[in-house]
Amino acid sequence: MTYELYYWPEIQGRGEFIRLALEEAGAEYIDVARLPTRQGGGGTAMMRLLEPGASGQFSFAPPFLKAGDLLIGQTANILLYLGARLGLAPKAEAARLWAHQLQLTVADLVTEVHDTHHPLSVNLYYEDQKNAAKRRAGDFIASRLPKYLDYFEQVLANNPRSSRHMVGARLSYVDLSMFQIVEGLRYAFPRAMTALAPAYPLLLDLHGRVSQRPNIRAYLASPRRLSFSEEGIFRHYPELDR
């Protein structure tokens, strides 16, 4: 099957968690909105599928994935579907649900990261809410970020199968997502992450091992991997990195 991923073409954002899973598995996929319009791509092709179709099911916002006749929305939901099909999730139901629970917690963290630079409204520019962003980012770095990192470090430490993975004894999509979380946090808050790093040896070891996996290493070096920027979720504003 050739999967069709629909996400904004200029940013990593939430779509990157799905790209990493597809790339690690060597799956055939098309990043539809990044294709030229003449090839059936672009933003128009993506927006068209945000409208109600014959099934009555449609997504609130990207990312969403087209897999045959299925159209699946929400990052964690897409990864729940792909994990079982790409060999990136445990086979046992309890373990699959545990992986999904962890991915939902990743989604919570991603929302809080976003809200450090847009604490008042997504309809306002960063410059219009900079003072509020400074307060929000200060609290995030001081209390919320350590709380999340503590949790994920403990998940690794308490995995009865292997402290090298978040779930079970093999790589899963949750490991790939934790790689992206560390990458994004290092971009957005380099000073804070440097100070916090010694407390999270297992997370940083996981990040390093994922980055060296052959398919991931090739992806990171390719033009398919978009750069972080101040248009995405993880944004670096020096005044917020305290």
Does the pTM surpass 0.85? The reply is yes
> Where are any strands of DSSP class E within the chain?
3-6, 29-31, 64-67, 70-73
Q: 144 or 47, which is more confident?
A: 144
Domain coordinates in residue numbering, the chain: 3-86, 93-213
- The CATH class, in words, for 93-213 is mainly alpha
Neighbours of 131 (CB within 10 A): 10
Kindly report the CATH class assigned to 3-86. Answer: alpha beta
Task: Annotate 15-83 with DSSP letters as a single string.
Answer: HHHHHHHHHHHT--EEEGGGS-GGGT-HHHHHHHTTS--TTS---SSS-EEEETTEEEESHHHHHHHHH
pLDDT digits (tens, 9 = 90+) for 150-188: 999 999 999 998 989 999 999 999 999 999 999 999 999
Which pLDDT belongs to residue 38? 85
From 10-24, 52-66, 124-138, the region with the lowest mean pLDDT: 52-66
